[in-house]
Amino acid sequence: MYRELDQVLAYHCGPALAGVKAANLVSLSMEEFPELRETAAKYNRLFQGKGVSFRLLCGCGKRALLLVYREEQLARQLREPLAAELLRRDGYPEGADVGRLLDLLSTRLRMGKEFPHEIGLFLGYPPEDVLGFQRYRGQNCKLCGYWKVYSDVDRARVLFRLYDRCREVLCRRVARGMTLSEVFLAA
């Protein structure tokens, strides 16, 4: 099971694992990964010294949303003035730590009434693009890639290429037989 999960995480969460992005989110089948909760706890222990955390945000039906994140990097991004203001507008308490903010996000995901689009802030998307997505309801973006871009297209293209490169390198190493812990704990 770990081998398959390593492949999925390398593909979907490479940028966060490599430290070039605050967080990545992946949707996983609970049928395919029935011990996901225990596995996430194991990965947390393995990666603790590298600043990477694994958190199940939602076990919604037959799927689970796993967040792979770097807490310090995420905290910095969520404290940026526009990000903090958008979170405040969406009902998140000012000055709350990352754990508390993730608890609230997790609750919103589980309630399932409406998808919490502020999740983009937790995934390290530029706050201007999260605001644009909310304002235009996902329409009229300037570029669509890892997220819908409403502001700095040139910067987004650079980041998209960087994220692609992280994914390629990590997937190649895992395909050669390395585990994620071997890749990152050796670094």
Residues 69-83 have a mean pLDDT of 97
Residue 187 lies in a domain: no
Q: What is the total count of domains within the chain?
A: 1
Domain membership flag for residue 121: yes
All residues at 6 or more sequence positions from 9 whose CB lies less than 8 Å from its CB, including other chains: 17, 26, 68, 180
Q: Is the pLDDT of residue 72 over 90?
A: yes
Q: Is residue 45 a part of any domain in this protein?
A: yes
Residue 147 gets which letter from DSSP? S
Q: Is the residue at 153 inside a domain?
A: yes
Does residue 66 belong to any structural domain of this protein?
Answer: yes
How many angstroms separate the CA atoms of 99 and 171, rounded? Answer: 29
Domain encompassing residue 148:
2-180
Residue 65 lies in a domain: yes
Per-residue model confidence (pLDDT) at position 187: 55
Please indicate, yes or no, if residue 168 is contained in any of the structural domains: yes
Q: Answer whether residue 186 is part of any domain.
A: no
Task: Give the global pTM.
Answer: 0.94
Half-sphere exposure of 21 (CA within 13 A, CB side): 31
Per-residue pLDDT of 7-25, as tens digits, reads 999 999 999 999 999 999 9
150-179 pLDDT, tens digit each: 999 999 999 999 999 999 999 999 999 999
Strand segments, DSSP code E, in the chain are 23-29, 53-60, 63-69, 143-144, 148-149
What is the β-pairing status of strands 53-60 and 63-69?
antiparallel
Q: What is the pLDDT of residue 142?
A: 98
- 1: pLDDT confidence band, cut at 50, 70 and 90? low
- The burial class, CB within 10 Å (0-12 / 13-18 / 19+), for 115 is exposed
